[in-house]
A = this chain, B = another copy of it.
């Protein structure tokens, strides 16, 4: 059977002051009236029944995530006692699914990507599951790049393996780390590279075998966790093992060593919605190019993204290409070209110990 795994461990400092330690990006409604994790869950749930969807969350966020996903049984939100990157996150989900369905197939997706339309995504997932069902194949989803991004890892494709109903599957030749600008341009021009969207499809048996081979420490920890699963000691056990785990991404820990990897080309619009600027790509703008999610009064205002709170009025006069975000305790005013640097504000607040704003 097919199982969904939603990785919801992210923090999203680039959406400050809306995003906070306790309210990360996946819990924000950025591109629709639903939060990003609600969108992600609803998309998967069109094909996978909720009882077979696992959300992996940090202890800080699990409560809110359960509130956002009322149709999901609380036990389906697996809590990580600490962030240990994607390899451990996927490992913990694998332990849970292996107990129920050791022959299952896992569809692993981040909680906070923008994807449209959902039906295309589901068709791609179906093709990926079909590919993953054969042998010990690991499948990734590749996003056709639209600009020479330096913020994503890349996947170099090999031979075309199949092309059914417009969905192409290729061998993977190599995984590439985030490139510099020149390299990214080369990747883009070659037409042979995809962005790594962080979505993975494989059998439970395949990933467990890969952990055993490439990340034996993690594999051993997962075996100990599996042995105690369902007992009163489980939570303590997970905490102890996590305390000793190294923080390694699935890309560095497994994918770069894996032998049989295939990539399915995404046919849907995808964005990781990395900062306030990217929100405007996915929502309606007014005739002056403004994105407004606030009570506003605007005079000569163009190209701005204005986000507020109910009841708080944001008035603008003669401004252009600004991001204005108001929350009860903090307000951001940032030029759109500097949206990436919102993270620097958060870093500074952390340095200064201004915890109340983090």
Contact = CB atoms under 8 A, between A and B. Distances in A.
Interface of A: 16-17, 297, 299-300, 308, 311-319, 322, 324, 326, 328-335, 337-338, 341-342, 344-345, 348-349, 354, 357
Nearest to A340: B317
A318 B333 CA distance: 9
A16 B313 CA distance: 12
A349 B312 CA distance: 13
B330 A300 contact: no
A334 B311 CA distance: 20
A177 B335 CA distance: 42
Contacts of A297: 345, 348-349
A299 B344 contact: yes
A338 B311 contact: no
Contacts of A319: 322, 333-335
A118 B342 CA distance: 44
B317 A338 contact: yes
12 contacts: A297-B345, A299-B341, A312-B330, A313-B329, A314-B330, A315-B334, A316-B332, A317-B342, A318-B335, A319-B322, A319-B335, A333-B333
A215 to B, nearest CB: 39
Given A331-B331, A348-B297, A349-B297, A341 B315 contact: no
Contact of A17 (B311, B315, B324): B315
A312 to B, nearest CB: 6
A277 to B, nearest CB: 12
Contact of A331 (B16, B315, B335, B345): B315
A12 to B, nearest CB: 16
Closest 6 CB pairs of A and B: A318-B338, A318-B335, A317-B334, A313-B330, A315-B345, A317-B338
A331 B318 contact: no
Contacts of A314: 330-331, 333
B318 A337 contact: yes
Max chain B C-beta neighbours (<10 A), residue from A324, A326, A330, A348 = A330
Contacts of A299: 338, 341, 344-345, 348
Max chain B C-beta neighbours (<10 A), residue from A17, A312, A331 = A331
Given A313-B331, A315-B345, A319-B322, 13 more contacts: A16-B315, A17-B315, A297-B349, A299-B345, A313-B330, A315-B332, A316-B334, A317-B332, A317-B341, A318-B334, A319-B335, A322-B322, A326-B326
Contacts of A342: 315, 317
A314 B334 CA distance: 11
A125 to B, nearest CB: 38
A311 B327 CA distance: 12
Contacts of A345: 297, 299, 315, 317
Nearest to A341: B317
Contacts of A329: 311-313
Contacts of A315: 16-17, 330-334, 342, 345
B326 A331 contact: yes
Contacts of A357: 313
Given A297-B349, A300-B338, A338-B300, A344 B331 contact: no
B313 A341 contact: no
